[in-house]
Amino acid sequence: MEGKNALNGRIRIQGSKNAALPILAACMLIPDKCVLKNCPDITDIGYMCSLLKSTGAVVDAKPVTGQTGLCLEIDAQNVKEHRLPEKYVSAMRSSVVLMGAMLGRLGEVCVNYPGGCVIGERPIDLHLSGLERLGAQIWTEGNHIHAYADELKGAVIAFPFSSVGATQNTILAAVTAKGTTVIKNAAREPEIVELCRFLNQAGARIELSDTFMEQGKLVIHGVELSRLHGVEYDIPSDRIVAGTYLFAALAAGGEVRLENIPIGQMDSVCGIITRMGAAVVQCPEDKAIQVNAIDRDRIVNIPYIETDVYPAFPTDLQSPLLAAACMAKGRLILKEKIFSSRFRIVEELQRMGADVTIDRDTAVVTGGRELEGRNVIARELRGGAALVIAGLCASGITTVADCGYICRGYQDIVGDLAGLGARIGYVD
Ligand code: UD1
């Protein structure tokens, strides 16, 4: 990309990766045909479809005329194979949520330890303890984890802290467990709510009550597997992709309208962007957000931001914020509270001339310095997208190598930004 070009125009936001992946896993539980609309057309969805197919499910992907994204038809009537292929499990972290679904469906599953973005230690102890509490026997052989249950039984599971994946895994196993399961300290991210809504439409009995939203206590009444039936479901749009483009507009300047926004989920991000000096208008009736960052003198850093669980500022937008903070005047102290090693882009930003330092879980950015185009390397998904933001603001040419990481979560970042006037394209 050749930087220093303001962004202007509109973008339609793709379907949510983190909502679609656990819902695809949930399809394995349902001995029927499900249709998922507005799935993002990204690598991770491809991996999850391959995993589903490896078990005996039939998956058809259909592009929808006039729309981006995919409509997926998943027929999981003939699911038989409980061993998941290492190639795809290793490729992405969220393959681990298939464990709960497969236990619920077949009573058995064998996977290797999951892969995913290298953003610090990512243990799966909470996932396994949730499944064990529901009655699964779990043992490891080399790099493989086996789980087996004659019958899953509802239980009270108190997580020591909130984990999105462990909550999803436990929900998936609890849907057809005998009796009632109570998850305390359940994650309350929108993607959890979405998974529960999908399962309830398919015949599950999950209480999405105020107690869940207020205290993180989730109650699941087990149902017979035969009660679950196929549904048609619209995957919501992606709050992290929307946030990435908001930070791109803030950093590069210009006026951008984002359409198909998950409007109620963007408050923490819009709040920060407003405090950094951009004019942000949320239009709930149109599901759109308009951001205006033309007046560069007004774009400033705010003193302190930390990432935290929803509804606080999401860890997945920490790197895009870091890149945008390089372009704002003044100093930002940014604390990462969720993952232990999520500042891998800092070295690359420093090579571009940014003034960023790291002390354990905290980055200090002194913004307002000129960035210079460089050859940089994406080492993970959101950090890679943040380097694209930095490249849009730098003088000269920036190339981002290993951009396959970015394609794991962004359907068409190059097309989207080019549509806003960015000078960006792929090179061999
Ligand atoms: C999901 C999202 C990811 C997001 C993260 C936090 C998907 C596919 N990914 O990841 O984009 O950044 O939520 O919002 O939806 N932990 C343990 N033991 C466990 C599980 C987690 O110690 O068994 C720790 C993790 O290392 C991390 C913290 O808990 O420090 C939160 O992780 P978790 O909420 O589980 O994130 P993921 O589900 O992996």
From the candidates 27, 71, 117, 326, which is the catalytic residue? Answer: 117
Burial 31-43 (b: 16+ CB within 10 A, else e): bbbbbbbbbbbbb
Residue 117 is among the residues annotated as catalytic for this protein: yes
Residue nearest to atom 15 of ligand 1 (CA): 18
Same domain, 366 and 222: no
Domain's final residue, options 234, 265, 289: 234
Atom of ligand 1 nearest to the CA of 120: 26
* Number of domains making up the chain: 2
Residue 64 lies in a domain: yes
Residue 370 lies in a domain: yes
Residue 243 lies in a domain: yes
Residue 428 lies in a domain: no
Q: Which residues are CB-neighbours of 153 under 8 A, at least 6 positions away?
A: 134, 135, 177, 178, 179
Partners of 63 in the β-ladder: 70
Strand order in the sheet with 330-335: 304-306, 330-335, 362-367, 355-359
Q: What is the DSSP string of 175-210?
A: TTSBSEEEEET----HHHHHHHHHHHHTT-EEE--H
Cα Rg of the chain, angstroms: 22
pTM exceeds 0.95, yes or no? yes
Range of the domain at 309: 7-14+237-418
User: Residue with structure tokens 């939203």?
Assistant: 213
Q: List, in sequence order, every beta strand (DSSP E) within 127-217.
A: 137-141, 144-148, 156-158, 180-184, 205-207
Cα distances from 146 to residues 138, 149, 175, 317, 390, in angstroms, run 6, 10, 20, 34, 43
Same domain, 200 and 345: no
Query: Ligand 1 centre and the CA of 391: distance in Å?
Result: 28
Q: In the predicted model, what is the mean pLDDT of residues 159-182? A: 98
Same domain, 246 and 216: no
Alpha-carbon distance of 75 to 53, in angstroms, equals: 10
Same domain, 312 and 299: yes
What pLDDT is stored for residue 121 in this prediction? 60
Same domain, 43 and 191: yes
Q: In the predicted model, what is the mean pLDDT of residues 231-242? A: 97
DSSP 3-state helix, strand, coil percentages of the chain (rounded to 5)? 35, 25, 40
Q: Look up residue 266 and give its two tokens.
A: 């963007």
Domain's final residue, options 234, 257, 291: 234
Q: In the predicted model, what is the mean pLDDT of residues 376-387? A: 96
Query: What CATH number is given to the structural domain containing 412?
Result: 3.65.10.10
User: Residue with structure tokens 């979560």?
Assistant: 409
Q: Look up residue 117 and give its two tokens.
A: 């973005």
- Least confident interval from 14-28, 108-122, 292-306, 341-355: 108-122
Same domain, 406 and 263: yes
Residue 424 lies in a domain: no
Same domain, 341 and 394: yes
What pLDDT is stored for residue 122 in this prediction? 72
Query: Ligand 1 centre and the CA of 335: distance in Å?
Result: 17
Same domain, 227 and 257: no
Atom of ligand 1 nearest to the CA of 168: 38
What pLDDT is stored for residue 62 in this prediction? 82
Residue 1 lies in a domain: no
Same domain, 204 and 293: no
Domain's final residue, options 234, 255, 290: 234
Same domain, 221 and 106: yes
Q: In the predicted model, what is the mean pLDDT of residues 235-244? A: 97
- Which residues line ligand 1 at a C-beta cut-off of 6 Å? 18, 21, 93-94, 121-127, 163-166, 187, 189, 191, 315-316, 338-339
Same domain, 146 and 178: yes
Residue 199 lies in a domain: yes
Residue 426 lies in a domain: no
Q: Look up residue 424 and give its two tokens.
A: 């960006």
pLDDT tens-digit profile of 39-69? 999 999 999 999 999 999 999 998 777 777 9
pLDDT tens-digit profile of 323-363? 999 999 999 999 999 998 889 999 999 999 999 999 999 99
Residue nearest to atom 11 of ligand 1 (CA): 316
Same domain, 215 and 275: no
Query: Ligand 1 centre and the CA of 192: distance in Å?
Result: 12
Note whether 84 and 51 are within 8 A (CB).
yes
